[in-house]
Amino acid sequence: MLWLFWIIWLMVTPQASPSLIQQIESHLQSYQSLQARFEQTYTPVIVSEPSQESGRLYYRQPGLMRWEYSGREKRIYLIKDNILWEYLPKENQLIIYDLSSEEFNQTLLNLLSGQIDLAKDYQISVAESSSPRQTRITLLPHYEESEYRKIEIEIDTQDFLLRTIKFTDWSGNKTDFKFKDIKINRPLKKNLFQLEVPESTEIIDYRQK
């Protein structure tokens, strides 16, 4: 999740220390793999009660990513070879997307994989967080075509690990991620980035649309 920060150093703002940006860049360049637990909270404007989910995240260079959601709505998202597989066991469906398609909104996915030009698309500011160990990075899009009105990221200034990320869309709906038990450069099994589903699974392939 953290590799998106390697280009933040290009946009050093008055609030940002060049040494901090360089330290972030140095740490992120060393990451070959990442695994963590996550908690996700979605807070819509029109509903009083937010919805919460949790699961595990795995990442390995180059560009392999797996999200496993636990709980009642179990599902798996697998990103590999610029393709997204979304497996919904409850619905017995496997949905396939081509991430290179311009019609597919990739804001979240691009942020998490580092495939986004922050300097071009966002105004970036860096400020202190409510926690003394963390720094908050705020991204404001230059273009209204962006899916999100604001993206807020908090990074630990001692170990340079991503702790939270919050997306706010143009309607005011918010999606928050909190990351725990983060492990860097640990071996990951190859089969983590393979997806086996029952033969009876319905396959919906949007690459052919």
The verdict on pTM exceeding 0.85 is no
pLDDT exceeds 70 at position 95: yes
Cα–Cα–Cα angle for 70, 62, 207, rounded to 5 degrees = 70
pLDDT at residue 197 in the model:
94
Domain count, the chain: 1
Q: pLDDT by residue (tens digit) across 114-142?
A: 555 566 677 878 777 677 778 888 888 88
Q: pLDDT by residue (tens digit) across 41-87?
A: 999 998 878 999 999 999 888 778 899 999 888 999 998 888 889 99
Domain range enclosing 189: 2-208
Residue 89 confidence class, pLDDT cut points 50, 70, 90? very high
**CATH classification at residue 165:** 2.50.20.10
Number of Cβ atoms within 10 Å of the Cβ of 179: 19
Main-chain dihedrals φ then ψ at residue 206, nearest 5 degrees: -80, -5
d(CA 152, CA 138) in angstroms, rounded, equals 5
Q: pLDDT by residue (tens digit) across 142-159?
A: 877 777 889 888 888 777
pLDDT at residue 29 in the model:
64
Contact (CB, 8 A) for 129 and 135: yes
In the chain, the N- to C-terminal Cα span, in Å, equals 30
Three-state secondary structure of 57-96: EEEECCCEEEEEECCCCCEEEEEECCEEEEEECCCCEEEE
pLDDT at residue 123 in the model:
80
